[in-house]
């Protein structure tokens, strides 16, 4: 089905999604400091999504959109995604929000590495330079040899960046045959099943406030995923992905408002390098996509490619 592009609305949806995700990770950090264990947080993040998505599809007559012949692919994507979500949650619990958010921006760097080393596609000097710049920023923030940043938090943040890059390739494959809402639902469904196994080891009784926060985490994450899906239906990836960097503004704001903590000098120096690297990669990917599209049109007009 063809969807008319509405780039301004797509950008607005993506920016709103980043605000919701940043709020979700703030709540994750907050409820973790109240004593709720990371694995339990991850379970409720997914478990609350399932009835929300199922109820919405049932109310709109869209349950048929969950039909799939690729259940094994959904399960593999969920496995990778859940490990990545554990890393994201761990980074949020172990690091200040601004630092944890900044490490999530390494996903484009890992995507370039996977393109070159795993897919064996050619990567030019622009993207290699961006990768080098990005990881220089990581080194600056990690500040090796000092105790300012948790090394386990750094490892979790980088692990999340790597696994989100892997998931992006898996989702690209699933998107050939599956609807976006189907990918979101089955990720939540399998994720809840996987983490339910760990729940007896980590579950503790909660106050009404803690339950409200856990429900908020699941709800905000679900709405954010739907907004991200909508943004990609209304605009090009290269157009909307730039808005992801607004999450650093929200993370810095929440860190100051709730924990009275601003990013360190190392973060102020390293974060621009990582953001700049991601922007260069996005710009270069967009130019390459346009070049490939022009080449295809030329070949079709010349009779060299099938119409």
**CA–CA gap between residue 195 and residue 199 (Å, rounded):** 6
Residue 146 has pLDDT above 70, yes or no: no
Q: For position 1, what pLDDT does the model report?
A: 47
Whole-angstrom Cα distance, residue 153 to residue 149?
Answer: 7
Mean of the per-residue pLDDT values of the chain = 87
Q: Are 284 and 126 in contact (CB under 8 A)?
A: yes
Supply the pTM of this predicted model: 0.86
* pLDDT class of 299 with cuts at 50, 70, 90: low
- The residues, ordered by sequence, that sit 6+ positions from 3 with a Cβ below 8 Å of its Cβ are 233, 234
With cut-offs at 50, 70 and 90, classify the pLDDT of residue 226. Answer: confident
Lowest mean pLDDT among 183-192, 223-232, 264-273, 282-291: 282-291
What confidence tens digit (pLDDT) does each residue in 193-222 have? 999 998 899 988 999 999 999 999 999 999
The predicted structure's pLDDT at residue 284: 79
pLDDT computed for residue 242 by the predictor: 82
Q: Which residues contact 90 (CB under 8 A, 6 or more apart)?
A: 38, 152, 153, 156
Q: What digits encode the pLDDT tens for the residues 11-53?
A: 899 899 999 999 999 999 999 999 999 999 999 999 999 999 9
For 179-198, write each residue's pLDDT tens digit: 888 888 999 999 999 999 98
**pLDDT single digits (tens) 76-135:** 999 999 999 999 999 999 999 999 999 988 888 888 888 878 777 777 888 888 889 888
Q: What percent of the chain has pLDDT over 90?
A: 50
């Amino acid at each position: 089905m063809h969807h008319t592009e509405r780039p301004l609305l797509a950008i607005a949806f993506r920016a709103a999604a980043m605000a919701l995700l940043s709020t979700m990770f703030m709540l994750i950090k907050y409820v973790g400091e109240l004593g709720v264990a990371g694995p339990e947080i991850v379970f409720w993040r997914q478990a609350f999504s399932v009835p929300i998505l199922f109820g919405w599809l049932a109310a709109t007559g869209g349950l048929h959109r969950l039909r799939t012949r690729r259940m094994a692919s959904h399960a593999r994507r969920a496995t990778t995604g859940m490990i990545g979500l554990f890393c994201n949650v761990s980074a949020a619990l172990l690091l200040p929000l601004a630092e944890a958010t900044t490490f999530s921006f390494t996903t484009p760097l890992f995507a370039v590495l996977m393109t070159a080393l795993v897919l064996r596609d050619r990567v030019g000097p622009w993207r290699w330079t961006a990768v080098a710049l990005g990881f220089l920023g990581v080194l600056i923030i990690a500040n090796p040899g000092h105790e300012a940043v948790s090394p386990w938090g750094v490892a979790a943040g980088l692990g999340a960046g790597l696994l989100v890059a892997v998931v992006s390739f898996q989702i690209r494959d699933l998107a050939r045959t599956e609807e976006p809402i189907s990918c979101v639902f089955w990720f939540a469904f399998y994720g809840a099943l996987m983490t339910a196994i760990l729940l007896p080891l980590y579950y503790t009784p909660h106050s009404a406030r803690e339950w409200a926060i856990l429900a908020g985490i699941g709800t905000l994450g679900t709405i954010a995923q739907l907004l991200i899906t909508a943004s990609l239906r209304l605009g090009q990836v290269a157009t909307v992905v730039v808005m992801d960097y607004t999450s650093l503004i929200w993370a810095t704001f929440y860190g100051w408002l709730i924990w009275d903590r601003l990013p360190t000098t190392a973060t102020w120096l390293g974060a621009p390098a990582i953001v700049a690297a991601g922007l260069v990669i996005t710009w270069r990917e967009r130019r390459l996509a346009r070049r490939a599209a022009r080449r295809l049109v030329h070949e079709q007009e010349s009779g060299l490619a099938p119409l």
